[in-house]
Amino acid sequence: MSALTESVSLEKRGDIALVIVDNPPVNALSHHVRQGILDGINAAVADDDVKAIVLTCRGRTFIAGADISEFGKPPQGPGLDVVQAAMENSSKPVITGIHGTSLGGGFEVAMCAHYRVSVPTAQFGFPEVKLGLLPGAGGTQRLPRVTGAAKALEMVAKGDPISAQEALDLGLIDDIVDDHEAGAVAFAERAVAEAMPLKRLRDLRDKVEADRADPGLFDDFRASIARKTRGFKAPEYNVQCIEAAVNLDDFDAGIAKERELFQELMRGTQSAAQRYYFFAERQAAKVPDVPRDTPQLDINSCGVLGAGTMGGGIAMNFANVGIPVTIVERDQASLDRGMSVIRGNYERSAARGSMPAEEVEKRLSLITPSLDRGDFAERDIVIEAVFEDLDLKKEVFEDLDRICKPDALLASNTSALDVNAIAAATTRPESVIGMHFFSPANVMKLLEVVRGDKTSDQIIATTMSLSKQINKIPVLVGVCHGFVGNRMLFMRGIEANKIILEGATPAQVDKVIYDFGFPMGPFAMSDLAGLDIGWKEETSTSSTVRELLCESGRRGQKNGRGYYTYDPQTRASTPDPEVEQMIRDFGAKQGIEQREVSDQEVLERCLLPMVNEGAKILDEGIAIRASDIDVVWINGYGWPVYTGGPMFWADTLGIDVVVDKINAYHQDLGGDHWAPADLWAKLVADGSPLHTAASG
Ligand code: 3HC
Ligand code: NAI
C-alpha cells in the first residue's frame, strides 16, 4: 500500500487497484482527499497491470460531503470536477464501495463511478439544502437522469437521506453487499470478467426526456414545499437546477447553470448563516470544563412527576427510545387526562403515517401511570414537571431526596425558577439539574440543560448524553431568571407590549416578526399559549393590556378570543377592532401619544433588546458561547436559521450599527433592558464579531 497524500492511499489486489480514503471523522473531501483520489485514479489508469479501480473509505463512513470548513477560504488542490472527470472518463471500470453515509459531494463523487455497491445500512442523500446550498458538483444533473425529476426534487430540495434498498430500487446503486471493500472488489472482478460497459450517468436521457412532457411537475412541487421553506433561498435554487436538467438538452449547460446558482448561494448570507449553524449545533454539545471522559450514570429507567402539558411530552421522549417511564400525578383524574393526551398524540402520529401503528401500544406499554411517588425509588432519573411554583418544587425535591436511590439524577423542568434553590431543598444538590424542555416537549428539539452551582460533572455529562439519546439538541446554560431563551424572550415582550400603546397594532407587530421568518409573532404566540397563564381574577388590576383582555373574558385561541378573534372551524385569526380600540384607550389613559410606527422600528425594538440581553448573558457567563444562544433561539423559538440566530444576525447588521441603535433607543426610551451590555465596548475596541464571542 502506498500513501498518495496524508489521507489517501493506493493498494493493489491482483489486477484491482484500491484508492482508499482515510480522513477522519467523516472522510470529508478536503483538498488532500481530492488530490489523493485524482492521483490514485491517474496512477491506476496508467498502470497496465490494473484492470479495474475501487474507490472506498476507511473509518465510520464513505465520504460525507465536501469539507464545509474549507468553504469561503482560498481554494487549494484540484477542484472536485477535475477529480470526477478523471473517474468518469477512466478507461478502466471504477467501482465505489460505500458504507455509512454517502452525502453531498461524497454522493456526487460516487455518481461519477461506473458502478456503485453498498452495505445494507448505508445512507445516500443531498443535505446541501440544509446548509443553504445545492449539490454543486453535478448532483442536480446526474440525479434526475437516474431517478426522474420527481424523486430528484424530493431529495435535493428537502435534503433527507434514503436507504441503500431505496437507492438500489431507484437504480442509484448496482448491488447491496455484506462488506463495502470486499464487495466492491468482487464487483470489480466481475466487471472485468464480464467486460461490463463503462456506464456514465451523465449520458442517460430517457428519464429527463419523459419529464419534459410534464412541465406542471415543477410548480406542483414548489406549491407542496412553499409553507415549510418560506424565507429560504436554497430550496427554490435546487428546484431550478433540476428544471435545468430536464429542460436543457446539453449536460454541460445544466452543469453551468448549477455552478452559477451554487456560487450565488455560497456568496450569500443565508448559506453563511446555515453553515455557521451546522458547527454551532455540534459545538454546543461540548462543555469545556467537563472532561470528555467523565464517567456517566447508566440511565435505563425514568420517572416523571406531573402529567400535564409538559410531563406527558417528556415521558413520550423516553418511551420513544425504549426507556420505561413511571409517570406520577396528584389525582386519578389528572393522571387519566394526561395518559389520554399521550395516547391521542401517538394515535395521531400513527394515523399520519409518521410511525408504524403497532408502535402505539408498544410505546404506551412503556409508560406506567401511578399516584405514588414511592414508585420512583429505583428510577435512574426523575424529572419534575409540576406547576411553576417554587415552594411546591422545593417540597417535591425534599420528597424526591427521601424517596430516590442515592445515585439517581434529579431534574426539574422549570422554565425560569432558581435551580440552586430547588437543589438546596435536597441533601444532594450535586445530583440536581434543570432540564428545560420546550412545548410541545415531544416535538421541540431544544433542551436547555441548567447547571446549578453544585451540579456535579457526572450529572452534567450524563444529562448532555441522555439529551442526545432522546433526540434533543442540548445547550448547557447557567442559573438566572428565564435562563437563556425565556430571559431574552421577556425583553422582546417588554418592547412589543410598549409599542402597541404607541400606535402599532398587534397585527402589525406580528406581521413584522412573521415576515422576518418566525413561525408567529408575540401576540399570536400569547393567544396560542393562553392569555390567562399565571392570571388570577381576584388579583387582576387592569394594569396591562393582557389583564384587560382576560378581565373581558378573552383567553386566547382556546376560547376563540384573544388579541385576535378566531374562526371556530378553521382557527384562522382576524384582527379585532374592539381590541385595537381597547389598546388605544389604555394608551391614551396613560398619556402615551399615538403615532404611526414604522415596520423597521417594530423590528428593531423587538429584536435588538434580545441581542443586547444575549450579550449580557455572555457577560455573566450564563451561556458558554454566543453560538449556543443562537442554537437556543433557532431550536426553541423558531428564529429563522437562515439568519443564523440573534447573535449571528447582529453581526450581519454590523456591530457598530447595533451598538449605536441600542444606545439611541436607551436614550429615547430608557429601561434596563436597553442599557448596553459591557461586551459591546470590548467587541467594538477589538473589531471582533459577536457570534464567535465566548463567556468569561
Ligand atoms: N465537513 C467538515 N466537517 C464535517 C463535515 C463536513 N462535511 N461533516 C461532519 N463534520 C465534522 C463535524 O463538525 C464534527 O466535528 P467535531 O467532532 O469537531 O464536532 C464531526 O465531523 C462529526 O460530525 P457529527 O457530530 O455530525 O457526526 P455524526 O456521526 O452525528 O454525523 C454525518 C455524521 C451524518 C456525516 C453528519 O456529520 C453530517 O450530516 N455532516 C454534513 C454532511 C453534509 O452536509 N454534506 C454536504 C456538504 S456540502 C457539499 O458536499 C457541497 C457539494 O455539493 C459540492
Ligand atoms: P400543567 O399545569 O399543564 O401541568 C402540571 C401538572 O402537574 C398538572 O397535571 C398537575 O396536576 C400536576 N401536579 C401539580 N402538583 C403536583 C404534585 N404535587 N404531584 C404530582 N403532580 C402534580 O403545567 P405545564 O405547562 O406542564 O408546566 C409544568 C412545568 O413545566 C412548569 O414548571 C412550567 O414552568 C414548565 N414548563 C412549561 C412550559 C409550557 O410551555 N407549558 C415550557 C417549559 C417548561
pLDDT, tens only, 537-580 = 999 999 999 999 999 999 999 999 999 999 999 999 999 999 99
- Phi, psi of 590, deg, nearest 5: -90, 5
Which DSSP string do the residues of 323-350 spell out, in sequence order? Answer: --EEEE-SSHHHHHHHHHHHHHHHHHHH
Q: What is the mean pLDDT of residues 32-50?
A: 98
Residues that are catalytic: 108, 128
Q: What is the mean pLDDT of residues 340-360?
A: 96
**pLDDT confidence tier of residue 235, bands split at 50, 70 and 90:** very high
For the entire predicted model, the pTM comes to 0.96
Atom 39, ligand 2: residue with shortest CA distance: 439
Ramachandran assignment for 132, one of left (phi > 0), alpha (psi -120 to 50 degrees), beta (any other): left
What's the pLDDT at 1? 81
* Contact criterion met (CB below 8 Å) for 470 and 442: no
What's the pLDDT at 533? 86
Domain residue spans in the chain? 2-266, 302-483, 505-589
What's the pLDDT at 534? 83
pLDDT, tens only, 370-400 = 999 999 999 999 999 999 999 999 999 999 9
Q: What percent of the chain has pLDDT over 70?
A: 100
Q: What percent of the chain has pLDDT over 90?
A: 98
Alpha-carbon radius of gyration of the chain: 28
Q: How far apart are CA 172 and CA 184, in angstroms?
A: 15
Q: What architecture is the 2-266 domain classified under in CATH? A: Alpha-Beta Complex (3.90)
Q: How far apart are CA 431 and CA 426, in angstroms?
A: 9
Say which ligand is closest to the CA of 525.
Answer: 2
Cα distances (angstroms) measured from residue 46 to each of 51, 81, 191: 10, 20, 19
Omega of the bond leading into 197 within 30 degrees of 0 (cis): no
What's the pLDDT at 472? 98
Q: How far apart are CA 244 and CA 602, in angstroms?
A: 41
Task: Give the CATH number of domain 302-483; options: 3.20.20.70, 3.40.50.2000, 3.40.50.720, 3.40.50.300.
Answer: 3.40.50.720
CA of 388 to the centre of ligand 2 (A): 7
Mark 263-276 as b/e (b = at least 16 C-beta within 10 Å).
eebbebbbbbbbbb
Atom 8, ligand 2: residue with shortest CA distance: 308
End-to-end CA distance of the chain: 49
**pLDDT confidence tier of residue 695, bands split at 50, 70 and 90:** confident
Q: How far apart are CA 625 and CA 287, in angstroms?
A: 10
**pLDDT confidence tier of residue 249, bands split at 50, 70 and 90:** confident
What's the pLDDT at 256? 98
Specify the DSSP element, H or E, that contains 176. strand 175-176
Ligand 1 atom index nearest CA of 135: 53
Query: Does residue 415 have its Cβ closer than 6 Å to ligand 2?
Result: yes
Lowest mean pLDDT, pick from 6-15, 72-81, 644-653: 72-81
Which DSSP string do the residues of 441-477 spell out, in sequence order? Answer: TTT--EEEEE--TT--HHHHHHHHHHHHHTT-EEEEE
673 pLDDT more than 90: yes
Say which ligand is closest to the CA of 371.
Answer: 2
Q: What is the mean pLDDT of residues 217-238?
A: 98
641 pLDDT more than 90: yes
pLDDT, tens only, 283-326 = 999 999 999 999 999 999 999 999 999 999 999 999 999 999 99
Q: What is the mean pLDDT of residues 493-506?
A: 97
Query: Does residue 140 have its Cβ closer than 6 Å to ligand 1?
Result: no
What's the pLDDT at 345? 97
Q: How far apart are CA 17 and CA 44, in angstroms?
A: 6
Q: What architecture is the 505-589 domain classified under in CATH? A: Orthogonal Bundle (1.10)
Query: Does residue 473 have its Cβ closer than 6 Å to ligand 1?
Result: no
What's the pLDDT at 359? 97
72 pLDDT more than 90: no
Q: How far apart are CA 98 and CA 125, in angstroms?
A: 13
CA of 533 to the centre of ligand 2 (A): 12
Query: Does residue 370 have its Cβ closer than 6 Å to ligand 2?
Result: no
Q: How far apart are CA 343 and CA 252, in angstroms?
A: 54
Query: Does residue 143 have its Cβ closer than 6 Å to ligand 1?
Result: no
Q: How far apart are CA 222 and CA 228, in angstroms?
A: 11
Q: How far apart are CA 472 and CA 476, in angstroms?
A: 12
Classify burial at 490, counting beta carbons within 10 Å of its beta carbon; exposed 0-12, middle 13-18, buried 19 or more.
Answer: middle
Question: Which residue has 431517478 as its cell numbers?
Answer: 147
Q: What is the mean pLDDT of residues 105-128?
A: 98
696 pLDDT more than 80: no
* Contact criterion met (CB below 8 Å) for 422 and 394: yes
pLDDT, tens only, 452-479 = 999 999 999 999 999 999 999 999 999 9
* The pairing of beta strand 162-163 with beta strand 123-125: antiparallel
- Phi, psi of 254, deg, nearest 5: -65, -40
Query: Does residue 110 have its Cβ closer than 6 Å to ligand 1?
Result: no
